[in-house]
A and B are shown apart, each in its own frame.
Chain A
């Protein structure tokens, strides 16, 4: 299996622009997670889906963040408008619901 695939790997944008991060989970996995990693806050869970339905979005920082999962093989995390404090590495992970998470390589976002 190809593993969890994320794009883009790197994104540099200016404050106020819209950012869209994409994720393709491992085929057959019915849970999908979005995490954010920063030096200050470590790995934080933003939101997770089960069978394409958002289950817990309590980690989403504010209304500027939104996530969708239109089908079992694709999810997006959108930030609009972006701010410098959103700079981080965003990880997507998928699982079978047994606890073990399989992470993608991450999308490094820099907001100037």
Chain B
């Protein structure tokens, strides 16, 4: 089955700096690549997603890039703010069955 590896497990940045989280996957049939943000005591919330026919997608301060040949995709957050502090999960799959990465704890220091 699909295997997703996510790095780093924790990331600490200064407010205003950029943060990058990377995921690699194993199943070349995967065609959907979402990123979720989870705040303490809440459920994961979709923040951005990309499909396999697109290499990059941006939404204000966040962007996702996909390299299907190398089977990896990344989340980029620019101009980080304290409210960006949370756990971020990548996921991938084909259709409705998503496999999630282990998560990255992002701390933005003000």
Which chain A residues have a beta carbon within 8 Å of chain B's beta carbons? 4, 31, 33, 42-43, 45, 48, 50, 55-56, 91, 93, 95, 97, 99-106
Interface majority SS (helix, strand, loop, mixed), chain A: strand
Name the contact of A103 in the complex, choosing from B44, B49, B93, B96 (C-beta under 8 A): B44
- For B, the interface residue count at a CB cutoff of 8 angstroms equals 22
Check B102 against A105 for contact (C-beta < 8 Å): no
Check A102 against B103 for contact (C-beta < 8 Å): no
Check A105 against B46 for contact (C-beta < 8 Å): no
Name the contact of A101 in the complex, choosing from B42, B46, B101 (C-beta under 8 A): B46
What is the bound-complex CA distance between A100 and B102, given in angstroms?
A: 19
- Give the chain A neighbours of B46 by CB distance below 8 A: 100-102
Interface majority SS (helix, strand, loop, mixed), chain B: strand
What is the bound-complex CA distance between A50 and B34, given in angstroms?
A: 20
Check B44 against A43 for contact (C-beta < 8 Å): yes
Name the contact of A42 in the complex, choosing from B34, B41, B96, B103 (C-beta under 8 A): B103
Name the contact of A105 in the complex, choosing from B32, B42, B99, B100 (C-beta under 8 A): B42
Q: 6 closest A-B pairs (Cβ-Cβ)?
A: A103-B43, A43-B100, A99-B32, A42-B102, A103-B44, A100-B46
Measured between C-beta atoms, what is the minimum distance from A32 to chain B in Å?
10
Beyond A43-B89, A99-B93, A99-B98, 19 additional contacts (C-beta under 8 Å) are A33-B96, A42-B101, A42-B102, A43-B100, A45-B99, A48-B96, A48-B97, A56-B97, A99-B32, A99-B34, A99-B49, A99-B51, A100-B34, A101-B34, A101-B98, A102-B46, A103-B45, A105-B42, A106-B43
